[in-house]
């Protein structure tokens, strides 16, 4: 029993050291850990199973202790009738007592192993819970980051579309501006042509009037003036 207890204590120390080492390497192994929350749920399941097993073992130990106590009470009673076959009955009771004691010792060993394993699991559970919470937080952060990245990509695409549309509108406005410049130049030339045309027509008309008046003066001389 003592050897078994020492063996379990050594195993507890090794498991604790391995677990602490794994905690120290969390920064390296967290990326390779597939689903720590699943392992945490499995660990809780094992803890509940060990609790149930420990309760069952304790109940069985109590029953065996009661049987040993009853057998010791019977064997310690000195009022056995001096009948034939009493010695064989006492011997059978003693054998039964030894058998129950052996069973009780085995159960106590199992109880001790279950308690040690339960303590190991209980000690490991908070660390796994922290690891699971950190992993969940990291997963949520990555999911949120992915959502932000997707929104950013959508905004970039929207900005690119707006840039293309703005460029098209700029090109159209440039072409329209060039057309306006050409139209303005044409209108200016047309205005100048019209202006010079009107001026030429006015001068020509004035010249015709002068020539007409001069011709009329030659054709119809003024009275009182004799021709020479």
Instruction: Indicate whether 19 pLDDT > 70.
Output: no
Local confidence band at 22 (pLDDT 50, 70, 90 cut-offs): very low
Show Cβ contacts of residue 110 under 8 Å, excluding neighbours closer than 6 positions: 57
| Distance in angstroms (rounded) separating the CA atoms of residues 56 and 69 | 20
| Distance in angstroms (rounded) separating the CA atoms of residues 178 and 155 | 34
| Distance in angstroms (rounded) separating the CA atoms of residues 199 and 192 | 10
What are the domain boundaries of the chain? 2-23+32-131, 149-221
Note the pTM of the prediction, 2 decimals: 0.32
| Distance in angstroms (rounded) separating the CA atoms of residues 34 and 42 | 14
| Distance in angstroms (rounded) separating the CA atoms of residues 101 and 66 | 11
pLDDT digits over 156-211, tens only? 888 888 888 888 888 888 888 888 899 999 999 999 999 999 999 999 999 999 88
Greatest mean pLDDT among 31-40, 92-101, 136-145 lies in 136-145
What does the DSSP 8-state code read for residue 54? H
Instruction: Indicate whether 56 pLDDT > 50.
Output: yes
Q: What is the reported pLDDT for 200?
A: 93
Distances (CA, A) of 152 to 7, 51, 160, 179: 59, 51, 12, 40
Long-range contacts of 220-227 (CB under 8 A, 24+ apart): none
Dihedral over Cα of 32, 38, 44, 45: its sign: negative
């Amino acid at each position: 029993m003592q050897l078994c207890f020492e063996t379990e204590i050594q195993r507890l120390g090794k498991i604790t050291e391995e677990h602490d080492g794994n905690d120290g390497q969390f920064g390296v192994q967290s990326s390779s850990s597939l689903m720590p929350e699943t392992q945490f749920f499995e660990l809780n399941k094992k803890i509940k199973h060990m609790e149930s097993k420990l309760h069952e073992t304790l109940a069985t130990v109590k029953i065996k202790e009661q049987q040993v106590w009853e057998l010791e009470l019977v064997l310690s009673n000195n009022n056995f009738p001096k009948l034939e076959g009493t010695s064989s009955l006492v011997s059978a009771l003693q054998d039964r007592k030894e058998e129950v004691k052996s069973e009780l010792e085995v159960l106590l060993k199992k109880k001790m192993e279950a308690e040690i394993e339960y303590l190991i699991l209980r000690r490991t559970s908070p660390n796994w819970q922290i690891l699971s919470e950190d992993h969940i937080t990291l997963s949520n952060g990555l999911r949120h980051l992915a959502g932000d990245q997707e929104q950013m990509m959508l905004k970039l695409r929207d900005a690119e579309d707006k840039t293309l549309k703005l460029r098209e509108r700029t090109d159209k406005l440039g072409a329209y501006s060039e057309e306006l410049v050409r139209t303005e130049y044409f209108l200016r030339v047309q205005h100048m042509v019209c202006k010079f045309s009107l001026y030429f027509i006015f001068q020509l008309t004035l010249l015709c009037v002068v020539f007409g008046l001069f011709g009329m003066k030659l054709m119809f001389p003024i009275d009182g003036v004799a021709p020479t």
